[in-house]
């Protein structure tokens, strides 16, 4: 048991509802339960009870559930009080718990205790927040697989393979005169290549999960009156943006989130880029450039009747060189045979009509493909991942690459052993075996209170 103090929080969202839940966790809840409900309820049985305040007056009536340690979410005694979901009632019930000896829980503290008490590893704990924050059903399913341990098991298999290899290498260093299982050059190279391939496979799956979690930030840019707002409306299937024939109608960035094959896509329609003396329009263009700086993907919208113009090339020259760009030639409904003007430096073009919808489905598919999404059967094999997971897997891959370059040099076995150790440490940080306290504080501070 890591903590002995008692924590309490409202575990249901703010506002009014049919049911509200106050969750309590601590080393021993017998005394608190007696004060709140008048008795200690039987373990793991839903019991109808009155809820009392510090003066013994009835606050509410509802269901109480008691989970004694260690068979609970946190690994401690846990009490869940399910009452009527009005804000006033919930606050009275929480106040009664605080008066009975509990303190207000910090964000994510229940899940933090579950991690510290070995009920969840760190990757599983993070997936709890990912389930809550999931913006699509596919993201929720992927997060649930991570909570059930799919991602953690894949990482542990890698760590186990590395541990075995480290044992052989370090045994060869410590006991060079002994007959030890072969750790020769060919054997080392073969084992290393196999582990590197497995790390690459897990990284690829994790990158797909990161797309599901974070989504794709797409910014529509182009000259005024090329149909950016019309395309946004077509993508969202709603009249989100005002559309007129007057250039410069859009003065500010308009943000909408859509779902494509289960992936959240955050689309930003921006003010047209051009030379202007209009002060408001200048502010809009400044916000356009700010949105571009945060984008994962750019859609450069152009009028298909004109093809790519000098002004479009000027906009293209302003875009960051490291951002993927799709050239979208709009208004093909107005030109029977639009000029197919490709842009060699972009290499990806789609012809659409935002007015009729022609070509928009092709754009949706190309958008996901350019962002790196690979279709999966119901997301099988995808791990919900965060940036720190991707960094850890990438670092592990780099250490293994260094190790492979040393494996053919027997005199470098000590350096090889160190690269393997660093690779194992990077992988173990994903599940929390090697995690600094400040990292834990950063992770769990982003959880909601009561979870």
Cα–Cα distance measured from residue 93 to residue 116, given in angstroms and rounded to the nearest whole number:
28
Q: What is the pLDDT along the chain (451 residues), one digit of tens a residue?
A: 455 799 999 999 888 889 999 999 998 898 999 999 998 899 999 999 999 999 999 999 999 999 999 999 999 999 999 999 999 999 999 999 999 999 999 998 999 999 999 999 889 888 888 888 887 888 888 888 888 889 999 999 999 999 888 887 777 665 555 444 444 555 778 888 999 999 999 998 888 888 888 888 998 888 888 888 888 888 887 655 444 454 444 445 688 888 888 888 888 887 666 555 556 656 666 777 777 878 888 899 998 888 888 888 888 888 888 888 999 999 988 876 555 556 656 668 889 998 898 999 999 999 888 888 887 655 566 888 888 999 999 999 999 998 888 876 555 678 888 899 999 999 999 988 765 566 566 667 777 777 7
Question: Using CA atoms, how far apart are residues 381 and 360, in angstroms rounded to an integer?
Answer: 29
Q: Are residues 188 and 305 in the same domain?
A: yes
Buried-exposed string 39-63: b where 16+ CB fall within 10 A, e elsewhere: ebbeeeeeeebebbbeeeeebbebb
Q: Do 50 and 74 lie in a common domain?
A: yes
Q: In what order do the strands lie in the sheet with 297-303?
A: 254-260, 263-269, 216-222, 297-303, 325-330, 349-351
**136 and 91 inside one domain:** no
Same domain (yes/no): 165, 305: yes
Q: In the sheet that 17-26 helps form, which strands lie side by side, from edge to edge?
A: 47-52, 58-67, 77-85, 17-26, 7-10, 103-104
pLDDT at 211: 85
84 and 154 part of one domain: no
In-domain check, residue 443 = no
Which residues, listed in sequence order, are joined to residue 66 by a DSSP beta bridge? 43, 79
Which has the closest alpha carbon to 368: 218, 252, 253, 250?
218
pLDDT digits (tens, 9 = 90+) for 396-424: 999 999 888 887 655 567 888 889 999 99
CB 6 within 8 A of CB 23: no
pTM as predicted: 0.74
| pLDDT (0 to 100) of residue 147 | 87
User: What pLDDT is attached to residue 334?
Assistant: 85
Domain that holds residue 256: 122-431
Q: Is residue 184 part of a domain?
A: yes
Q: Quick one: 4 exposed, middle or buried, by C-beta within 10 A (0-12, 13-18, 19+)?
A: exposed
Is the distance from CB of 316 to CB of 299 less than 8 angstroms? no
- Give domain status of residue 451, yes or no: no
Is residue 50 domain-shared with residue 179, that is, in the same domain?
no
> How many domains does one find in the chain?
2
Instruction: Of 115, 125, 116, 114, give the one whose Cα is nearest residue 148.
Output: 125
Same domain for 54 and 185? no
Residue 82 pLDDT:
96
Q: Does residue 313 lie within any of the structural domains?
A: yes
> 78 with 218, same domain?
no
DSSP string over 260-306: ETTEEEEEEE-PPP-----HHHHHHHHHHHHHHHT-SEEEEEEETTT
CATH of the domain at 53: 3.30.1360.120
426 domain residue, yes or no: yes
Indicate whether 142 belongs to any domain: yes
pLDDT tens sequence across 128-145: 888 888 878 888 888 888
CATH of the domain at 405: 3.40.50.300
> How wide is the angle at C-alpha 47 spanned by C-alphas 46 and 49, nearest 5°?
140
Same domain, 349 and 257: yes
Residues 269 and 207 in one domain: yes
State the greatest distance between any 2 C-alpha atoms of the chain, in Å, as a whole number. 85
């Amino acid at each position: 048991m890591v903590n002995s103090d008692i924590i309490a929080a409202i575990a249901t969202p703010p506002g009014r509802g049919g049911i509200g839940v106050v969750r309590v966790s601590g080393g021993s809840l017998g005394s608190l339960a007696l004060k709140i409900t008048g008795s200690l309820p039987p373990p793991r049985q839903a019991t109808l009870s009155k809820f009392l305040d510090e003066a013994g007056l009835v606050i509410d009536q509802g269901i109480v559930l008691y989970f004694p340690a260690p068979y609970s979410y946190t690994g401690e005694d846990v009490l869940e009080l399910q009452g009527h979901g009005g804000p006033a009632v919930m606050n009275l019930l929480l106040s009664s718990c605080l008066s009975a000896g509990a303190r207000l829980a910090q964000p994510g503290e229940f899940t933090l205790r579950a991690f510290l008490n070995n009920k969840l590893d760190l990757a599983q704990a993070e997936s709890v927040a990912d389930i809550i924050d999931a913006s699509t059903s596919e993201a929720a399913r992927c997060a649930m697989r991570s909570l059930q341990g799919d991602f953690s098991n894949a990482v542990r298999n890698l760590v186990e393979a590395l541990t075995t290899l480290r044992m052989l290498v370090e045994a060869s260093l410590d006991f060079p005169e002994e007959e030890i299982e072969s750790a020769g050059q060919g054997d080392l190279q073969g084992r290393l290549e196999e582990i590197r391939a497995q790390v690459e496979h897990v990284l690829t799956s994790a990158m797909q999960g990161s797309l599901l979690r974070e989504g794709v930030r797409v910014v529509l840019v182009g000259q005024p009156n090329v149909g950016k707002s019309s395309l946004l409306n077509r993508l969202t299937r709603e009249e989100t943006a005002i559309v007129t024939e007057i250039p410069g109608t859009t003065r500010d960035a308009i943000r909408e989130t859509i779902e494509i094959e289960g992936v959240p896509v955050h689309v930003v329609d921006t003010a047209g880029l051009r030379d202007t003396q209009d002060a408001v329009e200048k502010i809009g263009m400044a916000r356009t450039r700010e949105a571009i700086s945060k984008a994962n993907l750019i859609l450069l919208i152009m009028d298909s009747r004109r093809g790519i113009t000098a002004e479009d090339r000027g906009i293209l020259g302003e875009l960051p060189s490291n951002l993927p760009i799709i050239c979208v030639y709009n208004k093909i409904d107005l030109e029977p045979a639009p000029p197919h003007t490709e842009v060699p430096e972009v290499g990806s073009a789609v012809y659409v009509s935002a007015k009729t919808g022609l070509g928009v489905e092709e754009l949706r598919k190309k958008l996901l493909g350019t962002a790196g999404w690979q279709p999966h059967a119901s997301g099988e094999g995808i791990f919900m991942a965060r940036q720190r997971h991707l960094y850890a897997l990438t670092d592990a891959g780099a250490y293994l690459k260094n190790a492979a370059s040393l494996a053919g040099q027997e005199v470098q076995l000590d350096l090889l052993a160190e690269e393997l150790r660093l690779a194992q440490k990077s992988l173990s940080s994903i599940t929390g075996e090697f995690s600094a306290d400040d990292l834990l504080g950063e992770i769990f501070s982003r959880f909601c209170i009561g979870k």
